Chains A and B, each alone.
Chain A
Amino acid sequence: MKELRDKSVTRALLKKIEKKTPRCRPPVRIMEVCGTHTMTIHRYGLKSMLENAGVEMVSGPGCPVCITPNEFHEACLDLVTQREGMILASFGDMTRVPTEKGSLQTAVPAPASRVKIVYSPDEALNLARQNPDKDVVFFGVGFETTIPAIALTVKKAAAERLANFSSLSALWLIPPALRAILEAGDAAISGFLYPGHVSVIIGLEPYRFVAEEFRVPGAVAGFEPNDILLATSAILDQIVEGKPRVHLEYARVVDPRGNPIARAVMEEMLEPRDAFWRGLGRIPLSGLALKDRYGGFDARVKHGLDIKAGSTDLPGCRCGEVLRGLIPPPGCSLFGKKCRPDSPLGPCMVSIEGACFITYKYDRRREGG
């Protein structure tokens, strides 16, 4: 599979792209809707190569850590600092997100409580099995890629009647977020690079409205540099021909129909709700919550959490605008100065999928910072 990274292939693809861009109305702005795409684009220097070829790449809301607003972190902080005998299980990145109340990493837990980093929801379930005297709350954050794993874990907990396990879920759906970005219109997007692994679950159908209603082209892309360029080239073809559609570049991994087993688990356990995204605000039916009959495993219900939207970001942090594609990370005056990976002021600098972190890591020299 070395062709996917081969530099001579990259050069050939860039040449192809360069020939197409003069036939598109400038500026050509393509939003990548996945933090891992952002990583590939910066790591392999595609950002500047594409810029030279006439294509501006813009990061979107593709990092679940980043778009989860601070009120969720604050609810977790309250749980672990105010209640005894609590294990708060979280993905590592989430523990470092700074809020007005500090982060999960700096929090001082209540007696017999602790924060535990896990890599999968299954690990959190094991914590509950191994610690019957503790209440385990899993901070379940993710897009469609992760949601089936979380739903299945709650299903297992319910089957085992594990009364000491619950999930504080922040589950986000990509298609409604795309609609919100298109309706706002201010990011002026010419095309979307759709996320590869979200598409593994949902397939192609949920993106169709982007092409049909908004006449905006798009392609589902894999994560190697030449995947990104192939998909970009396909988007340019759609622009040139004036025929927007949903192209599948990543067919080796994505079935156009998605993963039916994963979707069935989601439908069985969860139902759509309006949700508040960092930066994007309230988006209708863009989140999922456990159905009422699983209320005993929903940390909000079980622990009576009142998560109200509206917690503010730390002063000066412009993550919200970064996530909407309105400013690039260096457009924030704190970038690389007060805000760095070792002292992040916002989630976009915390997460390895965050645009600020990725730009800092790979482009700082080029930015001259």
Chain B
Amino acid sequence: MCLGIPAKVTEVENSRQGKADYLGAKVRVDFSLLEDVRPGDWVIIHAGFAITKLNEEEAQETLALLREITGSQGE
């Protein structure tokens, strides 16, 4: 239920309801807790509600940090 796997928004019917692709399955999602959701956004779904959007920039930063750590260990 609380797994941290993001889902990709595929459909926004009105600002509150829509669909997302979660691990290959289409699921209905309530978007009422978020502002301005668009198809293509990645969201975290909990108990049928999208609770947050994935921040691409921050994700890249964490990945860069991880690469740096492995890099410096190899030296």
Contacts and interface: CB of A to CB of B under 8 A. Distances in A.
A94 to B, nearest CB: 12
Interface string A110-151: 000000000111110000000000000000001001101100
A339 B9 CA distance: 41
A226 B66 contact: yes
User: Looking at B34, B58, B62, B73, which has the most chain A CB atoms within 10 Å of its CB?
Assistant: B62
A4 B70 contact: no
A355 interface: no
A12 B73 contact: yes
Contacts of A336: none
A91 B63 CA distance: 35
Interface string A1-33: 101101011011101100000000000000000
A98 interface: no
Nearest to A123: B48
A262 interface: yes
Interface in B18-69: 30, 32-35, 44, 46-49, 51-52, 54-56, 58-59, 61-63, 65-67, 69
Nearest to A14: B73
Given A9-B66, A12-B73, A146-B46, A1 B33 contact: no
Contacts of A200: 44, 51-52
Contacts of B67: 3
User: Looking at A6, A145, A252, which has the most chain B CB atoms within 10 Å of its CB?
Assistant: A252
A196 interface: yes
Nearest to B60: A252
A249 interface: yes
Contact of A148 (B2, B44, B51): B51
B49 A255 contact: no
A214 B59 CA distance: 31
Contacts of B47: 119-121, 142, 145-146, 149
B26 to A, nearest CB: 15
A148 B52 contact: no
Q: What's the dominant secondary structure at chain A's contact region?
A: helix
A358 interface: no
A197 B4 contact: yes
Q: What's the dominant secondary structure at chain B's contact region?
A: mixed
B71 to A, nearest CB: 9
Contacts of A356: none
B12 to A, nearest CB: 16
A252 B70 contact: no
A215 to B, nearest CB: 27
A240 B47 CA distance: 39
Contacts of A122: 30, 48-49
Given A36-B4, A149-B46, A9 B70 contact: yes
B2 A353 contact: yes
Nearest to A353: B2
Given A12-B73, A226-B66, A261-B34, A253 B4 contact: yes
Given A36-B3, A353-B2, A259 B70 contact: no
B51 A145 contact: yes
A222 interface: yes
26 contacts: A1-B63, A3-B63, A3-B66, A3-B67, A12-B69, A12-B73, A15-B73, A34-B2, A35-B2, A36-B2, A36-B4, A119-B47, A121-B48, A148-B49, A149-B47, A152-B30, A152-B49, A197-B4, A200-B44, A201-B51, A226-B66, A227-B62, A252-B54, A252-B56, A261-B35, A353-B1
Interface of A: 1, 3-4, 6, 8-9, 11-13, 15-16, 34-36, 91, 119-123, 142, 145-146, 148-149, 152, 196-197, 200-201, 222-224, 226-227, 230, 249, 251-255, 259, 261-262, 265, 353
Interface of B: 1-4, 6, 30, 32-35, 44, 46-49, 51-52, 54-56, 58-59, 61-63, 65-67, 69-70, 72-73
Given A253-B6, A259-B52, A261-B33, 11 more contacts: A8-B70, A16-B69, A122-B30, A142-B47, A197-B46, A230-B66, A251-B58, A255-B52, A255-B55, A259-B33, A262-B51
